[in-house]
């Protein structure tokens, strides 16, 4: 991977995209092609084709897409499937036509069947129905994975690299309690609860579902590894996880402790839990020598520090614009 080559990171202001940009700069890549949603609408096929024609990126990291939590997925499934399918089709087609050397595409752990053997190996994809609360999003992401594999099969190569990170977190996450994912939403909930002195925080569900959390910097590290190394012996797609999961109750108690919230944590069991467990089997990429580096406790502390440094400029809760929501992929 030549450091002077143009690299297009789609979704560079979001969670995973910004981590990829940080990592590329740290490794000496300076020819990064970056456009936010207002400058390049990835759902516009003509605009995407013109962009690829003008800038001719050699490498592409597709971390853009419409993401959200359970509430948004249940309320706006058509938006989730339409937006993500359009982005994936436009970028993958343009990348193929313009001779992109390698493209990394991010799938999601919610693509796996709701009731799936744990940890989940890549072979279990399409073996059952995904969790209903995120079905439209999961179907869109599955289509993207299959597009990558189809291009590789038809055109004899591994230029399109679909990877499946588990629930990602870190700087530039969406900390809105309604539209964000569980870890970042809990950070904001407990911080505001501590600041306002409320005696209890009510959280959705039973607290028993288990999730695997991987820091965005580890995802970025895996991404760069896949862009740079010989993949001839690596079967695609590849899971990217840390090999350990935690219950939502454990996560909430840990975050509350880091933030210093001393009130009660109550659970509204009448609200949906989502899939009971999502732990990835990451042996494919681990077998190649890649390893995650960020422990959860350290990652939570650094993410909370980032939140404190940026809380004053974050959008008010539940008031994110559409453009801000269509920023970056992250797992449910």
| DSSP at 63 | -
Query: For residue 332, what pLDDT band results from cuts at 50, 70 and 90?
Result: very low
pLDDT at residue number 331: 34
- pTM, two decimals, is 0.91
pLDDT band at 316 (very low <50, low <70, confident <90, very high): low
Q: For this structure, is 137 an active site residue?
A: yes
The answer to whether the CB of 122 falls within 8 A of the CB of 179 is no
Q: Which of 105, 112, 137, 307 is catalytic?
A: 137
pLDDT tens sequence across 95-128: 999 999 999 999 999 999 999 999 999 999 999 9
Summarize pLDDT for 285-303 with one digit per residue, the tens. 999 999 999 999 999 999 9
> How confident is the model at residue 324, as a pLDDT?
34
Lowest mean pLDDT among 140-144, 167-171, 314-318: 314-318
Q: Which band of pLDDT confidence, cut at 50, 70 and 90, is reported for residue 15?
A: very high
Most confident of 66-70, 137-141, 153-157, 268-272: 137-141
CA-to-CA dists, residue 21 to 17, 71, 119, 220, 319, angstroms: 6, 30, 30, 8, 27
Confidence of residue 325 (pLDDT cuts 50, 70, 90): very low
Number of Cβ within a 10 Å radius of residue 315: 13
pLDDT exceeds 60 at position 320: no
**pLDDT (tens digit per residue) in 40-68:** 999 999 999 999 999 999 999 999 999 88
* pLDDT single digits (tens) 214-270: 999 999 999 999 999 999 999 999 999 999 999 999 999 999 999 999 999 999 999
**pLDDT tier at 315, thresholds 50, 70, 90:** low
Considering only the top CATH level, what class is 7-173+212-244+278-295+318-325? Answer: alpha beta
Whole-number pLDDT of residue 272: 83
User: Under 8 Å CB-to-CB from 64, ≥6 apart: which residues?
Assistant: 10, 11, 14, 17, 37, 42, 87, 91, 326, 327, 328, 329
Radius of gyration of the chain (CA): 19
State how far the alpha carbon of 207 is from the alpha carbons of 210, 250, 275, in Å: 8, 8, 12
Give the pLDDT band of residue 273 (cuts 50, 70, 90).
Answer: confident
Domain-by-domain residue ranges, the chain? 7-173+212-244+278-295+318-325
């Amino acid at each position: 991977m030549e450091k002077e080559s143009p690299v297009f990171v789609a979704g560079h202001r979001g969670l995973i995209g910004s981590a990829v940009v940080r990592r590329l700069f740290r490794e000496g890549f300076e020819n990064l092609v970056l456009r936010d949603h207002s400058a390049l609408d990835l759902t516009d096929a003509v605009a995407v084709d013109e962009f690829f024609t003008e800038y001719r990126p050699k490498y592409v990291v597709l971390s853009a897409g419409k993401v959200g939590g359970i509430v948004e997925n249940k309320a706006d499934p058509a938006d989730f499937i339409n937006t993500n399918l359009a982005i994936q089709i436009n970028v993958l087609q343009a990348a193929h036509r313009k001779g992109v050397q390698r493209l990394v595409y991010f799938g999601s752990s919610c693509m796996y069947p709701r009731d799936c053997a744990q940890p989940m190996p890549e072979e279990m994809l399409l073996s059952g129905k995904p969790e209903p609360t995120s079905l439209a999003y999961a179907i869109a992401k599955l289509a993207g994975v299959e597009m990558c594999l189809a291009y590789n099969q038809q055109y004899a190569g591994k230029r399109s690299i679909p990877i499946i990170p588990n629930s990602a977190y870190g700087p530039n996450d969406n900390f809105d309690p309604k539209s964000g994912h569980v870890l970042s939403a809990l950070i904001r909930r407990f911080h505001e609860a501590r600041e306002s002195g409320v005696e209890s925080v009510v959280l959705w569900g039973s607290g028993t579902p288990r999730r695997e959390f991987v820091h965005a910097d580890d995802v970025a590290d895996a991404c760069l590894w896949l862009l740079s190394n010989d993949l001839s012996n690596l079967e695609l797609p590849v899971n990217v996880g840390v090999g350990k999961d935690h219950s939502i109750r454990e996560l909430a108690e840990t975050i509350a402790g880091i933030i210093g919230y001393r009130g009660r944590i109550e659970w509204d069991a009448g609200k949906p839990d989502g899939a009971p467990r999502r732990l990835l089997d990451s042996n494919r990429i681990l077998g190649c020598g890649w390893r995650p580096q960020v422990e959860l406790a350290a990652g939570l502390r650094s993410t909370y520090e980032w939140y404190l440094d940026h809380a004053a400029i974050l959008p008010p809760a539940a008031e994110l614009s559409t453009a801000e929501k269509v920023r970056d992929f992250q797992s449910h």
